């Protein structure tokens, strides 16, 4: 058992060191290609406002993948939750309301958005664990449903015109730290504590490693999976709140390109697509690496088609590297056992 534990620690350290190297190389490459724009305080501040919403979505995707599943509906959850919050703020807040009244309704809107995310996550979890639909098909279906609901209640148009107190969440600073960055850090810390310090987190890793063994050991796998998708839904709704507070607008099709990126970041961050392996620190580093790439591409005026090609090629490259790294580690482990 000690040898197996040591082998797993070496794999974790190896993946994490490789990820740190990739992040540093990407940062240096983009700095060399465009030093006059990339290495500026304005660009670094801009990136710190942009990546938190993607980071929250990636944390949710990681959580779904830990059990051996996936959540293709997370962007739909984010948009639907954002629309719910937007409609509350634009239709319920009285005209000329004071700051305290506006803040109260704003908190109500945020709470309603988080509840929406939790409900959507519950539906996903039930379909996967209770009904027995595969995660990829269940969440692909619910993605269409959540997006369709958003289209129906907004009639396809954007909802905008939020109170200043709300837009400050996505564009404001506390001291020198952007508020969206603080939201991401809080979400990452809380999720890390859940995964590493709670019974649910330990059980989730066991389910992802070997679900049959987890069942025979007495773990209530269905309940754990449902709870994990509930938290994924809440993280999705948190991303939606940050997104609309930054852009001052909510629509059913925002951030539709983020699905591929969340999967890419999860895999790049060391999450095993088959489940059972991954950590929050890896996701944080992977988000930074991809944000450096995206910012550099924008400055170099890459076309959208070129960026999509690079994301897809990068995803396949990382999966191939991880596959052969696993084979090499397994061979080393077989020799030591």
Give me the chain's average pLDDT, please.
Answer: 86
* Residue 335 neighbours by CB under 8 Å, 6+ apart: none
Nearest to 265 by CA among 231, 243, 290, 240: 290
- Domain 2-336 of CATH type 3.30.70: no
Interval 182-223: pLDDT, tens = 999 999 999 999 999 999 999 999 999 888 889 888 899 999
Q: Do β-strands 159-160 and 173-174 pair in parallel, antiparallel, or remain unpaired?
A: unpaired
The helix/strand/coil state of 177 is strand
The predicted pLDDT at position 21 comes to 85
Q: Which residue has the tokens 């059990």?
A: 67
10 — pLDDT class (breaks 50, 70, 90): very low
Mean pLDDT of 70-98: 90
The full set of domain ranges for the chain reads 2-336
Is the pLDDT confidence value at 16 over 80?
no
Q: Which residue has the higher pLDDT, 66 or 320?
A: 66
| Local confidence band at 334 (pLDDT 50, 70, 90 cut-offs) | low
Question: pLDDT tens across 22-54, in order?
Answer: 888 888 888 888 877 888 888 888 888 888 999
Tokens 């993605």 belong to 143
- Kind and range of the H or E run holding 306: helix 304-336
Average pLDDT, integer, range 129-136: 94
What are the Cα distances from residue 333, in Å, to 73, 88, 264, 276, 321?
A: 38, 57, 28, 18, 18
- Say what the pLDDT of residue 30 is: 85
Residue 318: CB partners within 8 Å, gap ≥ 6? 264, 267, 268
pLDDT of residue 44: 84
pLDDT score, position 4: 40
**Residue with tokens 């990382």, as numbered in its chain:** 318
Q: What pLDDT digit, counting tens, does each position of 235-281 carry? A: 999 999 999 999 999 999 898 888 888 988 898 888 888 888 888 99
pLDDT for 9: 43
Q: Is the pLDDT of residue 304 over 80?
A: no
Supply the pLDDT for residue 197.
Answer: 92
Contact 270, 16 (CB under 8 A): yes
């Amino acid at each position: 058992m000690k040898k197996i534990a040591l082998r797993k620690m070496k794999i974790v350290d190896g993946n994490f060191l490789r990820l740190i190297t990739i992040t540093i190389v990407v940062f240096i490459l983009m700095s060399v290609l465009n030093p006059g724009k990339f290495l500026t305080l304005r660009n670094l501040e801009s990136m710190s406002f942009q990546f938190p919403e993607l980071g929250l979505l990636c944390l949710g995707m990681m959580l779904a993948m830990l059990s051996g599943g996936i959540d293709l509906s997370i962007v739909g959850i984010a948009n639907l939750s954002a629309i719910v919050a937007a409609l509350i703020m634009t239709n319920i807040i009285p005209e000329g309301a004071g700051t305290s009244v506006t803040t109260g309704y704003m908190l109500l809107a945020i709470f309603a958005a988080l509840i929406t995310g939790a409900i959507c996550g519950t539906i996903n979890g039930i379909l996967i664990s209770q009904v027995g639909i595969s995660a990829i098909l269940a969440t692909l279906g619910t993605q269409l449903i959540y997006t369709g609901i958003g289209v129906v209640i907004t009639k396809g148009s954007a909802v905008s015109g939020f109170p200043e107190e709300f837009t400050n969440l996505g564009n404001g600073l506390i001291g020198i730290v952007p508020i969206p960055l603080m939201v991401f850090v809080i979400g990452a810390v809380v999720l890390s504590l859940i995964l590493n310090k709670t019974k649910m987190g330990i059980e989730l890793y066991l389910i992802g490693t070997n679900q049959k063994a987890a069942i025979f050991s007495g773990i209530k796998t269905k309940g754990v999976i449902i709870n994990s998708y509930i938290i994924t839904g809440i993280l999705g709704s948190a991303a939606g709140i940050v997104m609309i507070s930054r852009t001052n607008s909510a629509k059913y099709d925002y951030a539709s390109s983020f699905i591929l990126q969340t999967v890419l970041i999860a895999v790049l961050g060391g999450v095993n697509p088959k489940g059972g392996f991954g950590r929050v620190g890896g996701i944080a580093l992977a988000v930074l690496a991809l944000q450096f790439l995206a910012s550099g591409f924008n400055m170099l005026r890459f076309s959208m088609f070129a960026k999509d090609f690079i994301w897809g090629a990068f995803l396949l490259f990382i999966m191939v590297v991880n596959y052969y790294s696993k084979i090499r580690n397994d061979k080393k482990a077989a020799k030591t056992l």
